[in-house]
Structure 1
């Protein structure tokens, strides 16, 4: 047998550091988790269901886009900003005691804050994880929440221990864009403060040295790449990962956000529930090829059902469009029709398709009405016939009339 080839010293040292970080994370998380259980009890560990762990390059627009992300995910609670968390009375007390606010303290402060009931339905955490130890603690936190979910799922408090959903979200811009935006922000703040000092009106804003020097801007960007970016990237294969291009203007960035957070059942539902409903199409998927399918149907009508198609078009021109024209001001017309042609389901579908192709929004309801026809002379019972009334509702852009003042 051949002798195993030893790893190079650099590889061994890297593995040793990684092992040490994992052990540190396990010690830190175990201590924080034990402290939380002692203070709140197992059932009192009621964390949010949805977490968005948000990171972003300097100048990527986290502050601008965080409210938009929250709205997109129906999160009403304010974000937890790690840098702000380190200025809370608890963090200040730690500093005043002569201790450093390291990973152990950050994780303790964060998990305690997450127990606030306002975050129960969802939360955005800005600026975590930043270190490899914090990454490992995040994984341990997820598995601890899964244990809580399994433990309480058949109890009366199951709704407080739902299966967690972690989303890693990264607002990304290139180094060049980041530096430009940082410097632009520095100029705007400096000009704002100059006007406040001259007028005595307004509030002075913090002027960051890093927003005024290109080299410091670059250094700050590289710091992000070496810490926060790498930390979030390492979770890509474990949790739902959203890489959001934030280089465009605000509307473009927000379109990117909406696209990234589009509804995906496979991410949010349990496998059992998803299996039951997966054959029902998602609304956005229905619209993807709707135009092409509409055109194909119309062409088929003209080729395979030409005579019926001609009758339908004449009906639309003679009976429907005149009523639609009279309601052009409102953009909403309702037509009741007893045309026997519409009794043919294919003809009814043709009416809808033709109007949709011409830009109208159409819905059709079929109402069945009993109409007295005769009286049975022997029983004096009223004999009725069933009349079908097709109620066609048509909506379209209303007339835009400019009025003088």
Structure 2
């Protein structure tokens, strides 16, 4: 009789996250290969700024997306993942009997992001929702860094900027979420009743989940168990904005402005920020041109770092003391004959550095004829032209309350 075979020692199962990472790598690799084959690698030019927007049910994503775009000076329409699933490409996938899974969603999203209208910035509503999508987002970011390194070596490389990923999460607690979902359901139901009775207007979609309290709670739980945790996992990797959306609309929008106000410490490269961080910050001006300003400053540091350093030293040593002395008035005018200002690029750097720190600066060049000698025979006066650079700096003056 043969001896019984001992039970093998059970091997620990692979952690689910490992499987998800492996799945994400396979999915993203296939999507990326398809994207390159379809468009060509040289055409892979994506937006510089991404806001990946997620939110609890009833948190007001649809209500606040336009407001967020305005706060970040983004003019392109948002990409709504649920809308991508109704595009002709997605319909063709479904008509072929296939499911629109992670691979298809990511493929549709990356193809859409190549549209030039998103070049300066885009809000993506509803991505990522799962851990697989989170891993694909990380892989996408690294691919963008690779593309930037390659493109900067080409003739068009100067237009290639470092990508910026922001994760934005609009959050409300469960009781608020359920209440808002039910209110939305009742409002849509009443709207549709009036449309049917009067024959005027367009019927809106009535979601079953907006009419049943238990289903509302299940929807919120699904959000907490998947999307919330997925987005939270990116907190240590990308700029993360947790936005309290529980209050009324004005309060929520104040929270959004507080989160998305331009911060040079987040948006500039560390090298540029180290150079200019000692310049005092005034109330911000010119935010409409923020994206172009950041791009120029980073380009200065990458292509003319020594000149930028000298310009900053000139500002700190020669201009800032005068600006501080005129803090009461909010207006300082400096006349300078510094040789560095003869370089037109240096003049532009002076203006841009001041704009980045919140000042409004202008530079005028005045040419003055200075007599040098007189010809004794003809009494002709020979002059040399002296350039005087008049730098005018404006900023909010000191607000001093005076006694009566």
Shorter-normalised TM range? 0.5 to 0.7
Between 1:152-161 and 1:94-103, the stretch displaced more is: 152-161
What are the residue-to-residue correspondences of 1:309-324 with 2, within 5 Å? none
User: Which position in structure 2 is the counterpart of 1:16?
Assistant: 15
Looking at structure 1, the residues matched to 182 and 109 of structure 2 have their Cα atoms a distance apart, in angstroms, of 31
Deviations 1:261-306 (A, max 9, x none): 1111122111221122111122249xxxxxxxxxxxxxxxxxxxxx
Give the TM-score of the pair, scaled to structure 2: 0.68
Looking at structure 1, the residues matched to 331 and 164 of structure 2 have their Cα atoms a distance apart, in angstroms, of 38
What are the residue-to-residue correspondences of 1:225-264 with 2, within 5 Å? 225-264=224-263
Q: CA deviation at 1:365?
A: 7.5
User: Which position in structure 2 is the counterpart of 1:119?
Assistant: 118
Looking at structure 2, the residues matched to 365 and 279 of structure 1 have their Cα atoms a distance apart, in angstroms, of 20
User: Which position in structure 2 is the counterpart of 1:60?
Assistant: 59
User: Which position in structure 2 is the counterpart of 1:82?
Assistant: 81
SS in 2 for 1:43: helix
User: Which position in structure 2 is the counterpart of 1:386?
Assistant: none
What are the residue-to-residue correspondences of 1:304-343 with 2, within 5 Å? none
Q: Mark the runs of 5 or more structure 1 residues left unpaired by the alignment.
A: 1-8, 286-344, 357-361, 368-378, 380-393, 396-405
Deviations 1:19-57 (A, max 9, x none): 111111111111111111112222110000000000000
Q: CA deviation at 1:366?
A: 11
Looking at structure 1, the residues matched to 109 and 69 of structure 2 have their Cα atoms a distance apart, in angstroms, of 19
Looking at structure 1, the residues matched to 283 and 332 of structure 2 have their Cα atoms a distance apart, in angstroms, of 22
Looking at structure 2, the residues matched to 86 and 198 of structure 1 have their Cα atoms a distance apart, in angstroms, of 32
Looking at structure 2, the residues matched to 159 and 127 of structure 1 have their Cα atoms a distance apart, in angstroms, of 32
Looking at structure 2, the residues matched to 182 and 49 of structure 1 have their Cα atoms a distance apart, in angstroms, of 34
Q: CA deviation at 1:183?
A: 0.7
Label 1:363 to 1:19 Cα distance change in 2 as closer, same or farther (>3 A): closer
SS in 2 for 1:280: coil
What are the residue-to-residue correspondences of 1:69-148 with 2, within 5 Å? 69-148=68-147
User: Which position in structure 2 is the counterpart of 1:149?
Assistant: 148
Q: Mark the runs of 5 or more structure 2 residues left unpaired by the alignment.
A: 1-9, 285-321, 336-378, 380-395, 398-404
Greater C-alpha radius of gyration: 1
Q: What stretches of structure 1 move > 6 A for 4+ residues in a row?
A: 364-367
Judge conservation of contact 1:82–1:126 (CA < 8 Å) in 2. yes
Does 1:161 find its partner at 2:154? no
SS in 2 for 1:244: strand
User: Which position in structure 1 is the counterpart of 2:203?
Assistant: 204
Deviations 1:133-168 (A, max 9, x none): 111110000000000111111322225532100000
Label 1:207 to 1:41 Cα distance change in 2 as closer, same or farther (>3 A): same
SS in 2 for 1:113: helix
The total of aligned residue pairs comes to 291
User: Which position in structure 2 is the counterpart of 1:269?
Assistant: 268
Deviations 1:112-147 (A, max 9, x none): 010011100000000001111111110000000000
Label 1:160 to 1:113 Cα distance change in 2 as closer, same or farther (>3 A): farther
Q: CA deviation at 1:103?
A: 0.8
Looking at structure 2, the residues matched to 32 and 77 of structure 1 have their Cα atoms a distance apart, in angstroms, of 24
Looking at structure 2, the residues matched to 258 and 243 of structure 1 have their Cα atoms a distance apart, in angstroms, of 12
Judge conservation of contact 1:55–1:171 (CA < 8 Å) in 2. yes
SS in 1 for 2:42: coil
SS in 2 for 1:241: strand
User: Which position in structure 2 is the counterpart of 1:342?
Assistant: none
Judge conservation of contact 1:246–1:253 (CA < 8 Å) in 2. yes
Q: CA deviation at 1:363?
A: 5.5
Looking at structure 1, the residues matched to 232 and 159 of structure 2 have their Cα atoms a distance apart, in angstroms, of 30
Q: CA deviation at 1:192?
A: 1.2
User: Which position in structure 2 is the counterpart of 1:324?
Assistant: none
Label 1:103 to 1:159 Cα distance change in 2 as closer, same or farther (>3 A): farther
